[in-house]
Amino acid sequence: MALPLYATPAEKAWHYGFRILCGLIFFFLIAPLLVIVPLSFNAEPYFTFTPGMLALEAEAFSLRWYEDIVANDQWLHSIRNSFTIGIAATLLATTLGTLAALGLTSPAMPYRRAIMALLISPMIVPIIITATGMYFFYSWAGLAQTHLGIILAHTALGIPFVVITVTATLSGYDQTLTRAALSLGAPPHVAFFKVTMPIILPGIVSGGLFAFVTSFDEVVVVLFMAGFEERTIPRQMWAGIREQISPTILAVATALVLVSIALLTAVEMLRRRGERLRQGR
């Protein structure tokens, strides 16, 4: 927004100072992510900028670390595990979280605040405490160091995001639409899938995307519960930093940043679509 012509020197100083401060904060947040991108193309096995990179010499840049991802069985195994566990946990978390949100928004639901607090507690409790409890419980149940155990653990971590997102979507939903469908003879399940579901679908998908990202990036629970066969990408990156110190980690990190940007873009598009549906446009 442009400054008015009658702005005082103090107002001009605040106007431009505030924008410079916002720019510095934005740079502080985004700089660590931007640094890894050029370093992932380093031709040398270093985590620093070489003189050739600073001089923008073509020989200083290479795709060797990206090629190492597809040539390394451990990385491929971790990628398969991350997608398998992430997709399964997302489907479970989305289904259970949506059902919980529908129940929590019902006026007949007793103790809604207490149940809501219980459901979102995995977001509040420090992850190390949650991981410790999960480790002892799943070890007792014989699910530690199994894919099923990690899927269930990531489902518990993803459900709060689905509950919050779908509950927020349902708060703007006009319940008279469902009552109108029921009054016209539609069974409850038909009214839900034909009337309610299409309107709240952007919220459900957004919650599912958050649950997927939560599972895809999670490392603490995996450190406690996963064996070698259950290694995910973050667990493999952790092992790479401690054992190998290979710039392949930077190439994987760059790919994860691109995946995160794509998912956040999808969430934003779904949010705008949800707003248009609620406004009847």
- Compute the distance between CA of residue 109 and CA of residue 105 in angstroms, rounded to an integer: 8
Q: What is the distance between the alpha carbons of residues 180 and 186, in angstroms, rounded to a whole number?
A: 9
Confidence of residue 94 (pLDDT cuts 50, 70, 90): very high
pTM: 0.80
Q: Calculate the CA 9 to chain-centre distance.
A: 44
Output the pLDDT for position 278. 63
> Are residues 22 and 129 both part of a single domain?
no
pLDDT exceeds 90 at position 24: yes
Confidence of residue 276 (pLDDT cuts 50, 70, 90): confident
Averaged pLDDT of the chain:
85
Domain co-membership, 92 together with 216:
yes
CATH number at residue 176: 1.10.3720.10
Task: Give yes or no: residues 26 and 155 share one domain.
Answer: no
Q: What is the pLDDT of residue 86?
A: 92
Q: Tell whether 115 and 253 lie within a shared domain.
A: yes
164, 207 contact by CB (below 8 A): yes
Average pLDDT, stretch 259-273? 80
For the segment 100-119, what is each residue's pLDDT rounded down to a tens digit?
Answer: 998 888 878 888 888 888 88
Residues 111 and 224 in one domain: yes
The pLDDT confidence band at residue 277, using thresholds 50, 70 and 90, is low
Give exposure, 218-255, as e/b (b: 16+ Cβ within 10 Å).
Answer: bbbbbebbbeeebbbbbbbbbbbeeeeebbbbbbbbbe
Q: What is the pLDDT of residue 163?
A: 92
What DSSP designation does 80 have?
Answer: H
> By residue range, what is the domain housing residue 23?
9-40
Highest mean pLDDT among 57-61, 102-106, 148-152, 225-229: 148-152
Do both 35 and 110 map to the same domain? no
Q: What are 175-205's pLDDT values in tens digits?
A: 888 888 888 888 888 888 888 888 888 888 8
Least confident of 33-42, 83-92, 128-137: 33-42
pLDDT digits (tens, 9 = 90+) for 31-72: 888 888 888 888 887 777 888 888 888 888 888 888 888 888
d(CA 70, CA 168): 41
Checking if the pLDDT of 162 tops 80, the result is yes
Count the helices and strands in the chain (H runs, E runs).
14, 0
- Using CA of residue 258, residue 206, residue 129, residue 226, what is the dihedral sign? negative
Note whether residue 3 is domain-resident. Answer: no
Same domain, yes or no: 112 and 184: yes
Residue 23 has pLDDT above 90, yes or no: yes
Domain assignment present for residue 55? The answer is no
Q: Is residue 51 part of a domain?
A: no
**pLDDT at position 153 over 90:** yes
Residue in this structure with the two tokens 């207490």, named with its chain if needed = 114
Do residues 181 and 149 both lie within one domain?
yes
In terms of domains, do 19 and 88 share one? no
Residues 90 and 157 in one domain: yes
* Residue 22 C-alpha from the chain's centroid: 25
Phi, psi of 42 (to 5 degrees): -70, 130
Higher pLDDT among residues 181 and 241, named by residue: 181
> How sure is the predictor about 279, in pLDDT bands with cuts at 50, 70 and 90?
low
pLDDT at 281: 58
Residues 124 and 179 in one domain: yes
Domain count, the chain: 2
